[in-house]
Amino acid sequence: MHQSDPDLPPFARSWRQLYFLVIGSLLLEIVLFYGFMQYFS
Amino acid sequence: MSGIDWLILAGTLALIISYGVIRSRGNRSMDDYLLADQSLPWYHVCLSVMATQASAVTFLSAPGQAFTDGMRFVQFYFGLPLAMVVLAITFVPIFHRLKVFTAYEYLESRFDARVRVFTALLFLLQRSLSTGLSIYAPSIILSTILGWNIFWTNIIMGGIVLVYTVSGGAKAISYTHLQQMLIVTVAMFIAGWMTVHLLPADVGFVDALQVAGKSGRLNTIDLTFDPDSRYNVWSGLIGGFFLQLSYFGTDQSQVGRYLTGQSVGQSRLGLLANGMLKVPMQFLILLIGVLVFVFYQFNPSPVFFNKVETDQLLKSPYADQYRRLETEHEAIAARRQKAVLTLNKALSTDDTKSVEQTRAVISQTDQEAKAVKNQVVDLIKKNNPVGDTSDVNYVFLRFVLDFLPHGLIGLLIAVIFSASMGSIAAAYNSLASTTIVDIYKRLFCNSYSDGHYLKASRIATVIWGLFCIVVAQFASKLGSMIEAVNILGSLFYGVILGIFLVAFYFKSIGGKATFWAAVLTEGIVIWCWWTELTAFLWLNVIGCVLLIGIAWLLEKVMPSRRLQPVDAVDV
């Protein structure tokens, strides 16, 4: 991963952590949408 | 529309335009005009990227889509966060480090001038024509429903954007994007709240979701791997990833937005924030469509939402047949309404048996209603072979005009204008920057002052704006708008994405092989489309894969002279 950028993200310790956060939030959304669909159907 | 609606619409548009012009006064250089002096923070980048992608049709079509087909369309966006991560890792640092104005500039440093100019020309052709369609699509819906003159609606829709795009450039676009997104968000929340408010007194938000769920409209996730199914998790993750990567990575209307970030970090953060916000935003827009669906379960709904088409039917020899179908539809709706009320009661008393029984009745009436609607569509086709047989784009606007209070109607029409202006402004700016940087400055006049190029950029913006409005005036000859835009994109996107993928990931392939592969592949793609060899969506895949394959082969046959390799991907 490209880590030489001195401009570090404000909400995480590294860019790599932020990338995982974005991917993690997508997975969480998929799980929540699935639960939402199941609950109301 | 009443006086208060006109006042709110005019006031909102005046506010957006004047704010954009005032905040961006004093553009002194091309850097300032085309890239906002690379001075914008991440939240500007994020909202600008979102506003560019979300056109007027997004806010008109998505609720209608949820109304007819449920929420499964949300899966289409699952590939977007992944594409944002790839862009943040690869595209953003390279574009920033090379200090490029356009994405195509990078291609010259990686390959040669021919590849750069060829790709820029493909982009100009595709983007200018599709921007014309982007002006026409909301204009035709507004003019159909509100009875406005389409010629003037096109001119106003495409013309008011020119005011602040020409004077303020990228900074004005970004500042107005901020305001447009704020207005869109507030208005859509109010519309959602009002929809729940209009439901019967004993039906709350959760009850509405129960009814929607039991009617199969909360179908957010489909885990089955079925290539024939248009929207499921896998097509969203895989197909959506490639689509979003090509759009955000190679389309200058998007590249120009994140290049305005004040650093690599700020551009990255903007894109990653977009990756986190886009899916929930799309979910909420679709949820409004679902709430409109629930509203029509308790209230009479039209059999077909495009009133212009049904009014024409009433004046045609098919009027009696149409009236009979309308009566049939009313009877079905009354049965369904009764079933929904029983379902609501059964849900509150946890009467499982009654829930299942009424659910079956709702499903049955749904199928019957669809069959009646199909017969109406057949009549529309017979009466007017070029008539609009899809009413998806009209569902939400018809609901707004028929049931929401005055004032809010004006605000929601302003939302349509705002969303449209957001994407059109970015397109004008990208057309001007590509024309000046990649064609005019590169090929014809490379030694003039910065002031000269600034003036040329403004002139290019005006010319492209006028061209797009002219395209919009002829767009009615093209049939289905969405399809026309997608076909146009599919003719060029695959080849452009292929060129960038070769640039980033196939370091051994040089400019000569890439250029001839691009020319050859574009010819093959156009031939495939002309002979109707395959469905148009596959043209993207054919273009991208063929280009990489042919470039690789040509490189073996006629190796390029090796130049100093520029910027391999550092991942």
Q: What is the pLDDT of residue B570?
A: 36
Contact B85/A21 with Cβ under 8 angstroms? Answer: no
Kindly report the number of other CB atoms within 10 A of residue B523's CB atom.
Answer: 11
Q: What is the pLDDT of residue B569?
A: 40
Determine whether B300 is exposed, middle or buried from the number of CB atoms within 10 Å of its CB (0-12, 13-18, 19+): exposed
Q: Which one of B130-134, B309-313, B415-419, B522-526 scores highest in mean pLDDT?
A: B522-526
Mutate to test the interface with B, among A8, A14, A20, A33 (most CBs of B within 10 A): A33
Which pLDDT band, with edges at 50, 70 and 90, does A30 fall under? very high
Contact B213/A40 with Cβ under 8 angstroms? Answer: yes
Closest-CA distance of chain A to residue B274, Å: 10
pLDDT in tens, B436-470: 989 998 888 878 887 888 888 889 999 999 999 99
Interface residues from chain A to B (CB-CB < 8 Å): 1-2, 4-5, 7-10, 15, 18-19, 21-23, 25-26, 29-30, 33-34, 36-37, 39-41
Q: What is the pLDDT of residue B46?
A: 94
- Looking at residues B210-223, what average pLDDT do you find? 88
- Looking at residues B353-372, what average pLDDT do you find? 86
Which of B18, B37, B17 has its CA nearest to residue B28?
Answer: B37
Q: What is the pLDDT of residue B483?
A: 60
Q: What is the pLDDT of residue B27?
A: 64
Q: Which one of B9-18, B77-86, B209-218 scores highest in mean pLDDT?
A: B77-86
Residue A35 has pLDDT above 80, yes or no: yes
Buried b (16+ CB within 10 A) or exposed e, B360-372: ebbeebeebbeeb
The whole-model pTM stands at 0.85
Instruction: Kindly provide the ipTM of the predicted complex, given to two decimals.
Output: 0.88
| Residues of B whose CB is below 8 A from A29 | 279-280, 283
Which of B197, B202, B195, B200 has its CA nearest to residue B348?
Answer: B202
- Looking at residues B42-56, what average pLDDT do you find? 89
Residue B571 has pLDDT above 50, yes or no: no
What letter does residue B564 receive in the DSSP assignment? Answer: P
- Looking at residues B260-273, what average pLDDT do you find? 92
Alpha carbon of B128 to those of B40, B123, B281, B293: distances in Å?
A: 26, 8, 28, 36
Residue B261 has pLDDT above 80, yes or no: yes
| Residues of A whose CB is below 8 A from B236 | none
pLDDT in tens, B94-145: 888 888 889 899 999 888 889 999 999 999 988 998 899 888 888 877 887 7
Mutate to test the interface with A, among B78, B94, B221 (most CBs of A within 10 A): B221
Selected residue with higher pLDDT from B53 and B242: B53
pLDDT in tens, B511-527: 889 999 999 999 998 99
Three-class DSSP category at B251: coil
Which pLDDT band, with edges at 50, 70 and 90, does A19 fall under? very high
> How would DSSP label each residue in B449-504?
-HHHHHHHHHHHHHHHHHHHHHHHHHGGGGS-HHHHHHHHHHHHHHHHHHHHHHHH
Q: Is the domain B3-295+402-479 a CATH 1.20.1730.10 member? A: yes
Which of B153, B49, B36 has its CA nearest to residue B101?
Answer: B36
Contact B95/B264 with Cβ under 8 angstroms? Answer: no
- Looking at residues B396-407, what average pLDDT do you find? 89
Contact B265/A12 with Cβ under 8 angstroms? Answer: no
Residue B568 has pLDDT above 50, yes or no: no
* Dihedral sign computed on CA atoms, order B407, B408, B410, B415: positive
**How many cross-chain Cβ pairs, A to B, lie less than 8 Å apart?**
79
Residue B232 has pLDDT above 90, yes or no: no
Q: Which of B147-151, B456-460, B489-493, B532-536 has the lowest mean pLDDT?
A: B532-536
Cα angle, residue B282 at apex, residues B277 and B285 outer, rounded to 5°: 125
Mutate to test the interface with B, among A4, A13, A14, A19 (most CBs of B within 10 A): A19
- What CA–CA distance (Å, rounded) separates B206 from B204? 6
Mean of the per-residue pLDDT values of chain B? 86
Which of B394, B433, B428, B463 has its CA nearest to residue B134?
Answer: B428
Q: What is the pLDDT of residue A1?
A: 42
Q: What is the pLDDT of residue B21?
A: 78
Which pLDDT band, with edges at 50, 70 and 90, does B479 fall under? low
Q: What is the pLDDT of residue B138?
A: 82
Q: What is the pLDDT of residue A3?
A: 43
Contact B52/B257 with Cβ under 8 angstroms? Answer: yes
- Looking at residues B531-554, what average pLDDT do you find? 84
Residue A22 has pLDDT above 90, yes or no: yes
The percent of residues in chain B predicted with pLDDT above 90, rounded, is 29
Which pLDDT band, with edges at 50, 70 and 90, does B78 fall under? very high
B497 contact partners, CB below 8 Å, separation of at least 6: B242, B245, B246, B249, B250, B540, B543, B544
Q: Which of B44-58, B146-160, B266-280, B535-549 has the lowest mean pLDDT?
A: B535-549
Residue B383 has pLDDT above 80, yes or no: yes
Of B85, B266, B279, the CB nearest to A23: B85
